[in-house]
Structure 1
Amino acid sequence: MSSEDLEKYEAEMELQLYREYRDVVGLFGYVVETERRFYLTNQVDLQPRSTETGELYFEVTMQDAWVWDMYRPARFVKNVRVVTFKDVNVEELAKSEFEIPDDRSGGG
């Protein structure tokens, strides 16, 4: 496989992943961004923790999540636990932001 073929394959996979994201984002209430992954989820618990030496880390648990990862064969995950020493971003999604207009109404 040439590097051009590999780049084309990865671009197609990324587009496929974006389309899947667009289709499922309305099913979820939260976006969680960690240093390595991007998740959509309906339940998230973020707990700051500290080690015995005083270093801060975060423990994130999620239920019913979708993972942005084009190399995973199954992106829907029942339970996720992430431990990270980097920042974690959790945002609640406003449902109206992601509503797709219904073109079937004929209102042109």
Structure 2
Amino acid sequence: MSAEDLENYETDMELQLYREYRDVVGLFSYVVETERRFYLANHVDLQAKSADGEVYFDLSLQDAWVWDVYRSARFVKNVRVITFKDVNVEELAKNDDLELPKGTDLGN
């Protein structure tokens, strides 16, 4: 496999992942971004904790979808993440204003 073939494969995988995200985002209430992953979830519990003077975050998600090209199963019932980096949690708006315009390559 050439470098160009590998790059094309990775580009196709990212596009398929984006399309899947676009199809499922309406099923979820929250967007969660950690140092390593991006999630959609319906329940989020984020707790800041400390041990030995260090602050860390204990994040629990239920009914989640994981943005990860290399996972075959992106829907996950329960997720627990421990991180020393910031965690961003946003509640998704429940309206159709977030849809992409029809007729674009990504909005179909």
1:40-79 aligned at under 5 Å gives the runs 40-51=40-51, 53-79=52-78
Unaligned runs of 5+ in 2: 103-108
d(CA) in 2 for partners of 1:95 and 1:49?
31
1:25-55 CA deviation, whole Å, 9 max, x = no partner? 000000000000000000000000101x210
Larger Rg over CA atoms: 1
**Count of matched residue positions in the alignment of Structure 1 and Structure 2:** 101
Give the TM-score, by structure 2 length. 0.89
Structure 1: which 4+ aligned runs deviate by more than 6 Å?
Answer: none
Equivalent residues of 1:29, 1:40 under 8 A apart: yes
CA-based RMSD of the aligned residues comes to 1.5
Secondary structure of the structure 2 residue equivalent to 1:73: coil
Give the TM-score, by structure 1 length. 0.89
d(CA) in 2 for partners of 1:14 and 1:8?
10
Secondary structure of the structure 2 residue equivalent to 1:95: coil
